[in-house]
Structure 1
Amino acid sequence: MVTRQFPHPSEILELMQFRKPEFNAKKRRLEKALTIYDLRKIAKRRTPASAFDYTDGAAEGEISLARARRAFEDVEFHPSILRDASHIDTTTEILGGTSALPFGIAPTGFTRLMQTEGEIAGAGAAASARIPFTLS
């Protein structure tokens, strides 16, 4: 008869890797979000209904919104695996200025509805990311 053997803890220690607990609830929620739809669910739960509906909605039949979502869902990435991606440069020139990424923050309207600092917070976020920020 075979007797059951238990491994010595030192033998399995390297296999037992525990994550440090995240005490910041906001960071914990955002780390679990894997898609834009996950972020939308978080926003819907945490944002007052009128502010969320304004930001989430689109005009009339929301045809443009549906088309934009469909276009993004139709994009398929075919990554080239095992390629060195440590030296990719996303810097580009937008309207004569340097941008760290090939996009910026466009006018959104009612920004103070979503964040008490409004455009100041948006401009600060854009500056931190080194991307353009525009006002209407």
Structure 2
Amino acid sequence: MEPIVQLTHEPLRRDVLVEAVSHPSVGGIVVFEGVVRDNARGKEVRYLEYEAYEEMAYQQIQAICKEAQQRWGVERIAVAHRFGRLEIGEASVIIVVASPHRAEAFDACRYIIDTLKATVPIWKKEVATNGEEWVEG
């Protein structure tokens, strides 16, 4: 199955992504959901803004997913990332990996989020009560 990659300004839907990778052959589904928290490095965060080079981000996320499929033998992966302004508690990224066995799903999911954060051209601005700044990841 080709990895599902969504880049959007709309709220992310965990249930839709889980349904997209579900299959009778699947014994484990691992979901990672990154949400906006109200604090970072001692600051009170009001909201986040995400920007991306969307064409390149899409291609790189596809490549990361395909690498995970090859390394762990998982066939069913969905990744969604949101852009624009996100409020506290909203999901910025959701990764869903489904496989016959849980170990491979956990390993592939961790690889996808860690590699995505380190390599994909997505930028995050924290808007806090005492100012704003672009931050890593």
How does the TM-score come out when normalised to structure 2? Answer: 0.23
Higher share in strand: 2
- Choose 1 or 2 for highest CA Rg: 1
How does the TM-score come out when normalised to structure 1? Answer: 0.23
Higher share in helix: 1
